[in-house]
Amino acid sequence: MAPVPTPFDNQDRLDEARLKAAFEIWVRGPLAGFVILGSNGEAALMDDEESARAIGIARECVPRGRTLLAGTARESTQATITATKRAAALGVDGVLVRTPGFFKSQMTNDVFVRHYTAVADASPVPVLLYNFTAVTGVNLQPAAVARLATHPNIVGMKESGGDVAQIADLVSMTPDDFIVLAGAAATLYPMMCVGAVGGILALANVLPGPCVRLFELTKAGRHEEAIALQRELVPVARLLGSMHGVPGLKAALNLLGYDVGVPRPPLLPLPESIVPALRDALAHFEEIPA
Amino acid sequence: MAPVPTPFDNQDRLDEARLKAAFEIWVRGPLAGFVILGSNGEAALMDDEESARAIGIARECVPRGRTLLAGTARESTQATITATKRAAALGVDGVLVRTPGFFKSQMTNDVFVRHYTAVADASPVPVLLYNFTAVTGVNLQPAAVARLATHPNIVGMKESGGDVAQIADLVSMTPDDFIVLAGAAATLYPMMCVGAVGGILALANVLPGPCVRLFELTKAGRHEEAIALQRELVPVARLLGSMHGVPGLKAALNLLGYDVGVPRPPLLPLPESIVPALRDALAHFEEIPA
Amino acid sequence: MAPVPTPFDNQDRLDEARLKAAFEIWVRGPLAGFVILGSNGEAALMDDEESARAIGIARECVPRGRTLLAGTARESTQATITATKRAAALGVDGVLVRTPGFFKSQMTNDVFVRHYTAVADASPVPVLLYNFTAVTGVNLQPAAVARLATHPNIVGMKESGGDVAQIADLVSMTPDDFIVLAGAAATLYPMMCVGAVGGILALANVLPGPCVRLFELTKAGRHEEAIALQRELVPVARLLGSMHGVPGLKAALNLLGYDVGVPRPPLLPLPESIVPALRDALAHFEEIPA
Amino acid sequence: MAPVPTPFDNQDRLDEARLKAAFEIWVRGPLAGFVILGSNGEAALMDDEESARAIGIARECVPRGRTLLAGTARESTQATITATKRAAALGVDGVLVRTPGFFKSQMTNDVFVRHYTAVADASPVPVLLYNFTAVTGVNLQPAAVARLATHPNIVGMKESGGDVAQIADLVSMTPDDFIVLAGAAATLYPMMCVGAVGGILALANVLPGPCVRLFELTKAGRHEEAIALQRELVPVARLLGSMHGVPGLKAALNLLGYDVGVPRPPLLPLPESIVPALRDALAHFEEIPA
């Protein structure tokens, strides 16, 4: 699945037409699903009204056979529930709920369990937990996930961290049907080796074909081919991920013929000086969207 | 100054009556000013409508001779500007704007300078920068502050960090009339020693008298008395700060006869098992509000 | 391979007899090799004379068909070379050289390349790099390893970190015959999935059979069985690793009939209160040494 | 006090003549004392025999009216005791003992208390604790120091950290006659404000006059002048400290007419490209050694 970016126009407003146009390309590709309003969707920079419009467009564009998730995390439990219900009413198949993290020293396992239980109790659609320590500064530990995995409306988790020991704990402490998803191309293959069943990858916006190929090779146990492909993908993934983030992702899509504009301030566009390196990295894949 | 907490009622709604009642006690005390919607005000857990009401009440309660600041930080520049204009329209004397921090690896000095310049350009009232690395995970470095300190509408900064080397840089790289404020009781005295002119302290909600005394002693150069008082205050300050945060602050105020209720979920109330220690720490000061 | 602990007697002296007795049990097991004077060997707490005696005993006990490595890292390049030559003269098959790390901010890629090149130039036996960021506070990055991997006397690396993205980079940036070894039971399986060829595991001292089984299953591509076994091993591995370290490792061995005594001060023995949990975790495996 | 660097010759051997020559300049200056074999003395890169010779030279050069301390920390308790006794036999006035830190997760308050108590019991000379978290990765907390401060042979502590809240705790939890020393020029003034009585500063090797002046101004309560001087010193101090460490310190001394050579590998000399900035920073002080 791809966590899609959100285009803004040159007055820094949500650009619905560009979002629709981008979805038209994405849905022609092989991805199993999409996440609207994820971290890469700049959801943290958008208000509730814009968020509702973005979900509406996504629902309109993504055919029913594909999964559509929406990011609905807020810092307060009640605002998370409100956003979750709104997304469900707009027709998403499930919600992806990043941990709160503002009050770091208070974010104990008990706090997380109470928060997610309240959200899952209130949500009309299935809930996926989402741990993204690099951004939130807090860690949703396997011990808390194990407690939450027994809730009938909590079906899985996206883990964006890359600590293999924690991932091994996570898989070993949750039921077999609890869905664990990788959060980065660099971790998809090793996480699937230890029990993850897929991933939500920024890179899947840009190179959906190779990402799906990596998934299929790994699933089929063709480890050598999977490793070889992962080796090719990691350098590009890093340019869009830890190195340049949303500015890198939007620049890459623009190079490939999508028209997703620039990030919302305070984010700055990718510096011009980086663009050639990005173009070279992408050229390797000759990914030519229609 | 005190960053006041926000009371919620038992349906988890903003409780205006309790906020007014608490202000009635605070304004009888010796504090120079108040911050509404700071980190301790659980602003991260409140929506725009609630925020506006809280500012309105604060403006009504705080007499004109005292400073009233509002926290107006959002992750996006445009939302920060909107919140800042709204607060200004509601009559605050200035705004305290914490750094954005969601997209950590993109938060360069240039991003901060562009963000704060846009906010200060648009703000009808003076702007104070606010660096709170423990919460945001990003650091507003003295080099960026030095550039921003030349803006006519950026008058100062709250620094909640405790790195004395960085604070020394900060003071030495900004003009003499740039206001530097400490963010914790434990750092007020040493930061004033190196050039800060005051503080915005959670402890000032609870023990305004001793906090003002510490400020006055330090300002008067009565260092030995200041050190002795700081020694007494630090243990209480830690209970409300790094150890128990907002739950600790609200519990302490409730023990002292304020009626500020419990934190908003996902925050949990202070565990009952901690209350006796808090009561003992406060008893030492015999602070009895009318 | 197992990084063997070093027994001390009740006067805090190297206990040669106990070390020999322990080796007699280990060499009857299925391990491919041993590391004397690794981190788990408390090498950091031993002097050069003790180190030489420990290596001598290991060489005497480990038959030629098995690999014997010695840890020879020191903070200075010249002391590392001296220790490496001494170990080689005592007959080890190779040396495992942890990065220096005292002067953290000076430990650039260039420093590491110069250091390891000097050591490898001078070493009569093959050199393995060793990155253990949790202990050293510095990170030997894949970019530096890639440069060092071209040295004819640098044959591989032990990576004790668990960042899957870095490990993927490491494997993709080094030649196919560059040996990458995992540093913990929790990371053996996923690291082998991405190209590691084995591991040096504290747990292999305690449960050599299951560790070798995990290695064999993974190597044979029997992923489901490997995952199931890894799930069983991780809880024990954590007790000996991140949670209780050398005190946990020695306590576990003592429970299993080895006689390796207590750690050297300042390390304290495992608290008695933890021993039952350790016994329970081990009982699961019914590992009964002769 | 200055933590003096150790000169090496061009065969990477301890250079006794250069060390004596440097001491001849230092002792003509106004410093209250010297530390041989501190972190800046590259003690971590030296063996016991070299260490003994360096202490011997220092004792020969430093007149009895000045304090001479030696760094004697090792990772093991027994090696620390041996080094401490050796230094005492060579005539030092006291020892400065950095915390062990290799086995980070085992370094509890109890471990530190047992370690330092054993060292202080065995030491013929007074012991100063030494917390340097940036290098060791462990933190000697005020609660442990408070317990150790009651030992008759533990007379004080060097704290190289800059967390003002911890420093405030440290001063408030130890007796009035427990000596607290700052570890960096950037923290000397604020730490003295909260109760420290002096400092051991790398900068004092290079600019002893201004450092002593800063100390005297602060002690005399002439805060404005102290702040002004600190502002001038901080940029130089950072070049020798967090930015360039031992390579920066040795380069600065060489520029000023000392002859202390280059650091011991793996440390590299200061890059030539940095030297002009260092020269400019020093020129400001026109420190001309005889």
B11 CA: distance to closest CA in chain D (Å): 37
Neighbours of C124 (CB within 10 A): 12
Å from C267 to nearest chain A CA? 25
Q: Is B139 on the interface with D (CB under 8 A)?
A: no
Which D residues 188-207 touch B at CB under 8 Å?
Answer: 189-191, 193-195
Strand, coil or helix: D154: strand
Residue numbers in C near A223 (CB within 8 A): 193, 221
Provide, as residue numbers in chain A, all residues whose Cβ is less than 8 Å from the Cβ of C172.
Answer: 230-231, 234
Of A172, A190, A195, the CB nearest to C164: A190
Q: What percent of chain D has pLDDT over 90?
A: 80
Tokens of A25: 């390309």
- Is the Cα dihedral B77, B82, B84, B85 positive or negative? positive
> Encoding tokens for residue B32?
């120079």
Who among D164, D187, D223 is closest to B187 (CB)? D164
What positions of D carry a catalytic annotation? 158
Q: What is the pLDDT of residue B53?
A: 98
Calculate the dihedral angle through the C-alpha atoms of C186, C190, C195, C201, rounding to the nearest 10 degrees: 10
Q: For residue A264, list chain B residues with Cβ-Cβ distance below 8 A.
A: 76-78
d(CA D104, CA D117): 19
Residue C266 has its nearest CB partner, among D45, D115, D268, at D115
Q: How far is C131 from chain A (nearest CA, A)?
A: 16
Query: What integer is the mean pLDDT of D249-258?
Result: 95
User: Are A103 and B44 an interchain contact pair (Cβ–Cβ within 8 Å)?
Assistant: yes
C8 - beta bridge partners?
C14
Whether chain C has a CB inside 8 Å of the CB on A168: the answer is: yes
Cis status of the peptide bond prior to A263, with omega within 30 of 0: no
| Tokens describing residue B149 | 């300190």
* Chain D contact for C44 (CB, 8 A cutoff): yes
pLDDT at residue number C284: 83
The mean pLDDT value for C50-77 works out to 97
Mean pLDDT of the D275-289 span: 80
pLDDT at position A123 is 98
pLDDT more than 90, % of chain B = 81
- The number of C-beta contacts closer than 8 angstroms across A and C is 90
Sequential DSSP letters for B1-25:
-EE----B-TTS-B-HHHHHHHHHH
Q: What is the chain D residue with the closest CA to C243?
A: D105
Query: CA-CA distance, B88 to B83, in Å (whole number)?
Result: 9
B105:A264 CB<8 A: no
Pair A207, A185: CB distance under 8 Å = no
Q: Using DSSP, state whether A180 is helix, strand or coil.
A: strand
Judging contacts by C-beta atoms under 8 Å, the chain D residues touching residue C44 are: 75-76, 102-103
Over residues B170-174, mean pLDDT: 87
Interface test with B, best of D164, D166, D239 (most B CBs within 10 A): D164
Condensed to tens digits (0 to 9), the pLDDT of residues A102-158 reads 999 999 999 999 999 999 999 999 999 999 999 999 999 999 999 999 999 999 999
> At residue B288, does pLDDT exceed 60?
no
pLDDT on residue A211? 97
Q: Supply the pLDDT for residue D289.
A: 44
Helix (H) or strand (E) holding D158: strand D154-159
| The two three-digit tokens of residue C107, written as one number | 């430990």
Q: Which residues of B touch A266 (CB under 8 A)?
A: 76-77, 100, 107, 111-112, 114-115
DSSP code of residue C39:
G
Average pLDDT over residues C69-83: 98
**Residue D205 host element (H or E):** helix D203-206
3-state class (DSSP) for residue A48: helix
Whether residue C288 is predicted with pLDDT greater than 50 in this model: the reply is no
Residues of D in contact with B195 (CB under 8 A): 227
Give residue-wise pLDDT tens across range B17-68.
Answer: 999 999 999 999 999 999 999 999 999 999 999 999 999 999 999 999 999 9
Q: What is the pTM of this model?
A: 0.89
Rg (CA), chain D: 18
D44–C115 CB contact, under 8 Å:
no
For B84-118, how does the pLDDT look when each residue is reduced to its tens digit (9 = 90+)?
999 999 999 999 999 999 999 999 999 999 999 99
Contact between A66 and A32 under an 8 Å Cβ cutoff? The reply is yes
pLDDT of residue A289: 44
Token pair, residue A176, equals 């077999």
Instruction: Tell me the HSE value of B86 on the side-chain side, using a 13 A CA sphere.
Output: 18
CA distance A289 to chain B (A): 28
**Non-local CB neighbours of B89 within 8 Å, separated by 6+ positions:** B124
Contact A112 B266 (CB under 8 A): yes
Name chain B contacts of A243, Cβ cutoff 8 Å.
105
Long-range contacts of D145-152 (CB under 8 A, 24+ apart): D145/D170, D145/D173, D145/D174, D146/D173, D146/D174, D147/D109, D147/D113, D148/D112, D148/D113, D148/D116, D148/D117, D148/D120, D149/D173, D149/D174, D149/D175, D149/D178, D150/D175, D151/D116, D151/D117, D151/D120, D151/D127
Percent of chain B exceeding pLDDT 70 equals 98
Look at residue C289 in the predicted model and tell me its pLDDT: 44
Average pLDDT value for chain B: 93
Tell which residue, A140, A144, A118, A122, has the closest CA to residue A131: A140
Interface residue B78 vs chain A (CB under 8 A): yes
Residue of higher predicted confidence among C22 and A231:
C22
For B210-242, how does the pLDDT look when each residue is reduced to its tens digit (9 = 90+)? 999 999 999 998 877 888 898 889 888 888 877
Contact B64, B34 (CB under 8 A): no
Tokens of C275: 């021993």
The catalytically annotated residue of C20, C85, C104, C158 is C158
Model confidence pLDDT, tens digit, residues C168-178? 788 878 998 99
Shortest CA gap A64–chain B (Å): 32
| pLDDT for C290 | 36
Q: How many residues does chain D have?
A: 290
pLDDT computed for residue C234 by the predictor: 83
The span from the CA of C212 to the CA of D195, in Å, is 58
Cα-based torsion angle of the residue sequence B108, B114, B119, B122 in order, rounded to the nearest 10 degrees: 180
Q: Would an 8 Å CB–CB cutoff place D98 in contact with chain C? A: no
8 Å CB contact of C12 and D78: yes
Pairing of strands D67-71, D94-98: parallel
pLDDT confidence band for C224 (50 / 70 / 90): confident
CA distance D126 to D178: 12
Residue B110 contacts A, CB cutoff 8 Å: yes
Q: What is the pLDDT of residue C194?
A: 76
Check CB contact of D150 with chain C, cutoff 8 Å. Answer: no
CA distance C88 to chain D (A): 20
Contact at CB, C231 and A172, closer than 8 angstroms = yes
Q: Is D146 on the interface with B (CB under 8 A)?
A: no
Determine if the peptide bond prior to A210 is cis (ω within 30°): no
ipTM given for this complex: 0.95
CB pairs under 8 A between B and D: 90
pLDDT in tens, D8-19: 999 999 999 999
Rg (CA), chain A: 18
Residues 6+ apart with CB under 8 A from B92: B36, B55, B58, B59, B68, B69, B70, B125
Contact C265 D78 (CB under 8 A): yes
Closest residue on chain C to D134 (Cα): C104
Residue B137's SS3 state is coil
CB-nearest partner of C45 from D45, D75, D114: D75
pLDDT of D288 higher than 80: no
Ramachandran category for residue B257: left, alpha or beta (phi over 0 → left; psi -120 to 50 → alpha): left
Task: Report CB contact under 8 Å: B76, A111.
Answer: no
CB contacts < 8 A, C to D, total: 101
Mean pLDDT by 10 residues, chain A (290 residues): 96 97 97 97 97 98 96 98 98 98 96 98 98 96 97 97 84 91 89 89 96 95 85 86 90 95 96 93 68
d(CA C79, CA A214): 46
pLDDT the model gives residue B38: 96
Tell me how far apart the alpha carbons of residues D249 and D254 are, in angstroms, rounded to a whole number: 9
pLDDT at D146 over 90: yes
Q: Do chains B and A touch (3 or more CB pairs under 8 A)?
A: yes
Is 90 exceeded by the pLDDT of residue B243? no
In chain C, residues with a C-beta closer than 8 Å to the C-beta of D12 are 78
Across the interface, whether the CB atoms of D227 and B195 are under 8 A apart is answered yes
CB C121 within 8 A of CB C80: no
pLDDT digits 0-9 by tens, D189-209: 888 877 899 999 999 999 999
Q: How far is D223 from chain B (nearest CA, A)?
A: 8
**pLDDT on residue A288:** 42
Give C228's pLDDT tier (boundaries 50, 70, 90): confident
List CB contacts (< 8 A) between B44 and chain A.
Answer: 75-76, 102-103
Contact present, C127 and C97 (Cβ < 8 Å): yes
Measured between alpha carbons, how far is residue D204 from residues A262, D47, D249, D267 in Å? Answer: 51, 26, 10, 22
Q: Report how far apart the first and last C-alpha atoms of chain C are (Å, whole number).
A: 20
SS3 content of chain C, % helix, strand, coil (to 5): 55, 10, 35
Other C-beta atoms closer than 10 Å to the C-beta of B271 total 11
Closest in D165, D189, D227 to B187, CB measured: D165
Sequence-ordered strand ranges (E) for A24-110: 33-36, 67-71, 94-98
Q: B185-193 and B223-238 are packed helices; what angle lies between their axes, rounded to 10 degrees?
A: 150
Mean pLDDT of chain D: 94
Residue C234 structure tokens: 């991780």
- Establish whether the linkage from the previous residue to C265 is cis, with ω within 30° of 0: no
Beta-bridge partner residues of B228: none
Per-residue pLDDT at A202:
95
Nearest CA in chain D to B171: D231
Report chain D's terminal Cα–Cα distance, integer Å. Answer: 20
